[in-house]
Amino acid sequence: MIELNTVMLRADNEQDLSRAAELIKSGELVGIPTETVYGLGADGLNVSAVAKIFKAKGRPSDNPLILHISEPSQMEQLCHDIPEKGWLLAKKFWPGPLTMVLPAKPIVPKVTTANLDTVAIRCPKTESTRKLIELAGVPIAAPSANASGKPSTTTAEHVLHDMDGRIAAILDGGACEVGLESTIVDLSGNKPVLLRPGGITPEELLDVLGELEIDKAVLGQIDSDAVVRAPGMKYKHYAPNAEVIIVSGNANDAASYVRRRYNEQTAVLCFDEELSLYEGLNPTSYGSEEDSMSLCAGLFSALRTLDKPEIHTIYARCPSGGGAAYAVRNRLNKAAGFCIVSAKEDTE
């Protein structure tokens, strides 16, 4: 791959926005801020531009992309048979961290949908990014702007770390507000199905939809040869190089469990409230257990901070409960490859 000179642009500068739009129009890749995570953006209707995304990330070609639009009505250019429920969700949650899967129109290239006959669409909340989409005049295909399989990027610096030399530019819009990828709901079948939890909670979706199935990939591990709705759901995700082990149980049992195993090759990822229990072990907190949104915002950044060659094992604490904690649990479970140990059993 030819080394590019990756330029850092500012999302709050009009000239920089225009420059980013020109790059998208000419088939180049631009790292873009959104309220969820940073995206690796390209013209979603341009086959060779979309192919560059897969190459830059090292992303398997059977993992489909999300198309980002600047206003809800653009759904009609890209999808057909949009159910009433789709418009209701758009009205309630767009612009925002919700992606809908709908039947794709032929204008959407197969490389974007990974050969599926459905397409994922989102109207992001970040105003500068909607402006960029408008200036580019095309929907922007954007997966998370991390190297495939690694924790997602929530700052422009993270994007530079993973993508320097591989993309034309990065639009710096500061740290992402939500910090986890969008909630994905599939509206292409008989019943709405939650494919990925995120900033919009299952409870909020149920309020509008009245019914919601939860795809089994959300709750458990998918065999590598299993047939899934979105092929991307089966891949290892969000994982640092170190092995992540979730330690379940109450705070004191978990701290004792970790202390018994601690050495210079281990790291601790916990809640603000538990920092004092790990004194002397150099713990890293990713937010407050009482505030799930803070955990969403802090998780990927903390996993990246702990991703050092000398660290072989990360012992992590995971929140319980619904709402945004549900999305945090989903990401952490996947980062850990569903490796969960019980601190209590260890003490018995």
Q: What does the binding site for Mg ion look like in residue numbers (CB under 5 A)? A: 144
Q: Which two tokens stand for residue 312?
A: 């072989």
Q: What is the per-residue binding string for ligand AMP in 87-106, x denoting contact by CB under 6 A?
A: --------------x-----
- State the burial class of residue 232 (Cβ atoms within 10 Å of its Cβ: 0-12, 13-18, 19+): buried
Instruction: Answer yes or no whether residue 267 interacts with ligand AMP by CB under 6 A.
Output: no
Instruction: Answer yes or no whether residue 122 interacts with ligand AMP by CB under 6 A.
Output: no
Instruction: Answer yes or no whether residue 195 interacts with ligand AMP by CB under 6 A.
Output: yes
Write down the least CB distance from residue 181 to Mg ion, Å: 6
Instruction: Answer yes or no whether residue 199 interacts with ligand AMP by CB under 6 A.
Output: no
Q: Which two tokens stand for residue 303?
A: 């996993």
Distance CA 34, CA 126 (A): 5
Q: Residue 230: name its binding partner from Mg ion, ligand AMP, none (Cβ under 5 to 8 Å by kind).
A: ligand AMP
Instruction: Answer yes or no whether residue 184 interacts with ligand AMP by CB under 6 A.
Output: yes
Residues 112 and 52: beta-carbon distance below 8 Å = no
CA distances from 79 to 67, 97, 101, 102, 140 (A): 11, 19, 9, 6, 15
Write down the least CB distance from residue 195 to ligand AMP, Å: 5
Return the beta strands (E) in the chain as ranges: 7-10, 30-32, 39-43, 66-68, 98-103, 118-122, 140-141, 169-172, 183-186, 193-196, 213-214, 243-248, 266-270, 284-285, 313-316, 340-342
The stretch among 113-121, 123-131, 172-180, 340-348 that binds ligand AMP (CB under 6 A) is 113-121
Write down the least CB distance from residue 145 to ligand AMP, Å: 9
Length of the chain: 348
CB closer to Mg ion, 144 vs 154: 144
CA angle at 217 for the pair 213 and 222, rounded to the nearest 5° = 145
Strands 66-68 and 140-141: antiparallel
Distance CA 129, CA 34 (A): 7
Distance CA 138, CA 28 (A): 13
Write down the least CB distance from residue 263 to ligand AMP, Å: 34
Write down the least CB distance from residue 337 to ligand AMP, Å: 17
Residues 315 and 266: beta-carbon distance below 8 Å = yes
Strands 118-122 and 66-68: parallel
Residues 319 and 329: beta-carbon distance below 8 Å = yes
Instruction: Answer yes or no whether residue 113 interacts with ligand AMP by CB under 6 A.
Output: yes
**Which of 99, 131, 98, 110 shows the shortest CA–CA distance to 19?**
131
List CB contacts of 60: < 8 A, sequence separation 6 or more: 54, 148, 231, 232, 235
The stretch among 117-125, 133-141, 262-270, 338-346 that binds ligand AMP (CB under 6 A) is 117-125
User: Which parts of 147-166 interact with ligand AMP (CB under 6 A)?
Assistant: none
User: Which parts of 164-183 interact with ligand AMP (CB under 6 A)?
Assistant: 181
CB closer to ligand AMP, 236 vs 308: 236
CB closer to ligand AMP, 27 vs 60: 60
Write down the least CB distance from residue 70 to ligand AMP, Å: 18
Instruction: Answer yes or no whether residue 144 interacts with ligand AMP by CB under 6 A.
Output: yes
Q: Residue 66: name its binding partner from Mg ion, ligand AMP, none (Cβ under 5 to 8 Å by kind).
A: ligand AMP
Instruction: Answer yes or no whether residue 232 interacts with ligand AMP by CB under 6 A.
Output: yes
Instruction: Answer yes or no whether residue 143 interacts with ligand AMP by CB under 6 A.
Output: yes
User: Which parts of 26-85 interact with ligand AMP (CB under 6 A)?
Assistant: 63-64, 66
Query: Closest-CB residue for ligand AMP?
Result: 232
Q: Which residues bind ligand AMP (CB under 6 A)?
A: 63-64, 66, 101, 113, 116, 118-120, 143-144, 181, 184, 186, 195-196, 229-230, 232-233
